[in-house]
Amino acid sequence: VDLSNVVSYAVLAVEMGGYAVRRIHEEHGKK
């Protein structure tokens, strides 16, 4: 397993997760 690929994938997952959470909070804030 290439460690650099694992790290980049983990960073991408964190960024996507953070974006999803931010979107959810924005949706609730509009209501």
Could you give the dihedral angle defined by the CA atoms of residues 24, 25, 26 and 31, in that order, rounded to the nearest 10 degrees? 100
Is 7's pLDDT higher than 80?
yes
Domain interval for residue 5? 1-31
CA distances in angstroms from 27 to 8, 9, 15, 19, 30, listed in the order given: 29, 27, 18, 12, 5
Q: How many domains does the chain have?
A: 1
Rounded to two decimals, the pTM is 0.56
What's the mean pLDDT in 17-23?
95
More confident residue, 1 or 26: 26
Instruction: Quote the mean pLDDT of the chain.
Output: 93
Whether pLDDT at 1 is above 80: no
